[in-house]
């Protein structure tokens, strides 16, 4: 007997969710304890998978609530919409083909497919704002639980036994260049390169909301070192939730934040605001990419590569190549001048990648709605609250590799 089409669709959604649950849990084990399922030297065990659910569970809960916020609001507006599609992305299998593992979160996120055309500012606003605010509320709960249930400082010795010899003042020793941790040693061996006493150290660039929880909710003596936050699953999941909330709430184009700003100020005003905000994002992100202090050999390839990159990034802003080149050259020149007067000013090149995706594929501008009536007062207040959430969740430099 053939399986009905609707049942197949539901099985697809459920199967993708289950797959993402598995991959995010594997990824959690990698981040929390440096345990890789296909690298025997890291001693991955079933208990590591179970413990890593303390990362994948809250992380996927936030992501799921976000998507169902969109889903149920669309249904309330009688807009046909799909259930969430969860997208797995995990590189822990690379050792199976002789390659070193790459860090990942186990997922690219999730999305719903809207099957009807949205016709009003009201629909764009309601459906756009429902997801980020719903997920944000759950993220606050995750962060509150994480900061009020911090383990004792000695917990870090379970993750890094090599720190034990230094006691609780390990931070004075283990971040020096002559210290090499076992995970770094294992991955270096897999990559076939010698140890050079230089290991990358990742820290999380905190935002206003995260800093509030650290300062006013957690017990000061239990707050982990900034370089060890990734080993605290609830905190790491909460931080990532705020990071993705900020991404979604960027008030540009057709991101959730773009829908919200469009609902608040209308088509013409949004077009100007979105252009300005996008240019500012690209300008900040690229600060320090090209400087007067680079060698001529570096500039000989960096300058044309970065220039072409900027031209492609502004693809959706201008129909003519001439205007795109003019804007790219202008931004590059100002960034160069900033570096000349103060070379210590640095942007965050990770935002350049996201800006490229927006400018080349998603679009900087919001399409006009057929019904363009202004929002009521309550929705306007909610919209400005959402933009305040964006400011509180935004990290200028979310992931810092030293």
The per-residue pLDDT for range 104-118, each reduced to its tens digit, is 999 999 999 999 999
Q: State which H helix or E strand residue 400 sits in.
A: strand 399-401
* 278-292 residue pLDDT tens: 999 999 999 999 888
Lowest-pLDDT range of 48-57, 183-192, 373-382, 388-397? 183-192
Rounded mean pLDDT of 136-140?
98
Q: Judge whether 258 and 250 are in contact, CB under 8 Å.
A: yes
Which pLDDT score is estimated for 24? Answer: 98
Phi, psi of 256 (to 5 degrees): -55, -40
pLDDT over threshold 90, residue 195: no
Q: pLDDT tens digits for 46-103?
A: 999 999 999 999 999 999 999 999 999 999 999 999 999 999 999 999 988 888 888 8
Q: Which residues pair with 120 in a beta bridge?
A: 371
Checking if the pLDDT of 166 tops 50, the result is: yes
Q: Check whether 222 has a pLDDT greater than 80.
A: yes
Q: Residue 401 pairs with which residues in a beta bridge?
A: 202
CB burial readout 177-195, b (16+ within 10 A) else e: eeebeebbebbbebeeeee
Q: Assess contact for 385 and 269: CB atoms under 8 A.
A: no
- Per-residue pLDDT for 210 more than 90? yes
Mean pLDDT computed over 179-203: 57
The pTM is what?
0.92
């Amino acid at each position: 007997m053939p399986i009905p089409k609707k049942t197949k669709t539901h099985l697809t959604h459920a199967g993708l969710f289950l797959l993402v649950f598995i991959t995010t849990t594997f990824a959690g084990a990698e981040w929390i304890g440096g345990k890789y399922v296909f690298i025997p030297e890291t001693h991955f065990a079933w208990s590591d998978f179970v413990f890593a659910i303390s990362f994948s569970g809250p992380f996927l809960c936030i992501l799921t609530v976000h998507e169902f916020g969109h889903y149920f609001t669309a249904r309330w507006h009688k807009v046909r919409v799909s259930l969430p599609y969860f997208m797995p992305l995990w590189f822990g299998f690379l050792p199976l083909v002789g390659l070193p593992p790459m860090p990942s979160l186990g997922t690219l996120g999730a999305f719903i497919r809207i099957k009807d055309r949205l016709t009003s500012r009201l629909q764009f606003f309601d459906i756009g704002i429902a997801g980020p605010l719903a997920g944000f509320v759950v993220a606050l709960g995750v962060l509150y639980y994480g900061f009020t249930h911090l383990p004792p400082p000695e917990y870090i010795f379970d993750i890094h036994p090599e720190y034990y010899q230094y006691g609780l003042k390990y931070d004075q020793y283990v971040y020096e260049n002559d210290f090499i941790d076992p995970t770094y040693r294992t991955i270096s061996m897999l990559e076939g390169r010698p140890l050079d006493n230089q290991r990358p150290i990742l820290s999380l660039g905190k935002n206003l909301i995260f800093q509030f929880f650290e300062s006013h909710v957690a017990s000061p003596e239990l707050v982990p070192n900034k370089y060890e936050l990734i080993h605290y699953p609830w905190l790491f999941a909460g931080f990532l939730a705020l990071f993705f909330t900020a991404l979604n709430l960027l008030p540009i184009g057709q991101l959730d934040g773009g829908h919200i700003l469009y609902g608040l100020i209308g088509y013409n005003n949004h077009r100007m605001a979105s252009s300005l905000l996008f240019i500012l994002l690209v300008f900040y992100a690229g600060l320090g990419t090209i400087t007067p202090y680079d060698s001529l050999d570096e500039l000989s390839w960096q300058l044309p590569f970065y220039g072409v990159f900027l031209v492609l990034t502004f693809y959706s802003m201008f129909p003519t190549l001439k205007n795109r080149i003019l804007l790219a050259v202008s931004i590059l020149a100002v960034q160069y001048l900033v570096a000349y007067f103060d070379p210590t000013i640095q942007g965050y090149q990770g935002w350049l990648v996201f800006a490229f995706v927006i400018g080349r594929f998603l679009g900087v501008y919001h399409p006009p709605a057929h019904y363009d009536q202004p929002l009521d007062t309550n929705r306007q207040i909610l919209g400005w609250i959402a933009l305040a959430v964006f400011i509180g969740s935004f990290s200028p430099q979310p992931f810092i590799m030293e």
